[in-house]
């Protein structure tokens, strides 16, 4: 299994990535990987030490994880559907009062090197909303066209992620320390 370390390749066989963010949900927890070309020192510091905030948007055929690391990275988003996971999506169970660990990795998309890493937690109420969406989407028939159209509708109505969070988020939270 590949180990991530700041200054080391995110993937041993790849040096360039598209500038996107991806959310993965696994039995061990959740992973958010943000790929930015040549991240600034402010973006690196934001991921490493900034105030981590999240919003979850449950749409009909897809979902969106909104995130920001303030200061440093403004509201941004990672569209999500469990059908696009390599392995079956799984949101670990948490009990009221328990939190779920989220691993955040910032990767320089131009070099493939890990620029920053951090672990934060999502509170139970946030995890419950994510779990509910994932369970609903996982049991529905997946249509890539419907998911893409759903995202296009969301982004047409809310062209800025901060507006999407303010006006449409089902749940928001501030990530806690690991």
Q: List, for residues 117-127, the tens digit of each pLDDT value.
A: 999 999 999 99
The mean pLDDT value of the chain amounts to 91
106, 36 in Cβ contact below 8 A?
A: yes
- DSSP of 106-136, one letter per residue? EEETTT-BEEEEEEEEEEHHHHHHHHHHHHH
φ, ψ dihedrals at 41, nearest 5°: -65, -30
Single pTM value for the model: 0.92
Specify the DSSP element, H or E, that contains 146: helix 144-157
Tens of pLDDT, residues 114-153:
999 999 999 999 999 999 999 999 898 999 999 999 999 9
Which residues are CB-neighbours of 103 under 8 A, at least 6 positions away? 29, 30, 31, 32, 117, 118, 119
What pLDDT does residue 26 have? Answer: 78
Tens of pLDDT, residues 9-41:
999 999 999 999 999 987 777 999 999 999 999
């Amino acid at each position: 299994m590949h180990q991530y370390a700041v200054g080391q390749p995110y993937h041993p066989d790849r040096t360039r990535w598209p500038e996107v963010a991806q959310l993965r949900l696994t039995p061990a927890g959740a992973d958010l990987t943000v790929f930015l070309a040549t991240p600034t020192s402010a973006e690196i510091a934001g991921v490493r030490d900034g105030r981590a905030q999240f919003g979850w948007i449950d749409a009909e055929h897809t979902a969106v994880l909104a995130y920001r690391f303030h200061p440093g990275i403004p509201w941004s988003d990672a569209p999500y559907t469990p059908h696009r996971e390599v392995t079956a999506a799984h949101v670990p169970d948490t009990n009221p009062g328990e939190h779920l660990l989220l691993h955040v990795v910032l990767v320089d998309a131009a070099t493939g090197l890990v620029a920053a890493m951090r672990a934060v937690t999502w509170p139970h109420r946030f995890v419950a909303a994510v779990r509910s969406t994932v369970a609903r989407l996982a049991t529905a028939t997946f249509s890539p066209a419907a998911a893409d159209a759903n995202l296009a509708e969301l982004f047409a109505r809310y062209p800025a992620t901060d507006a999407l969070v303010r006006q449409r988020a089902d749940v928001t939270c501030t990530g806690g320390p690991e």
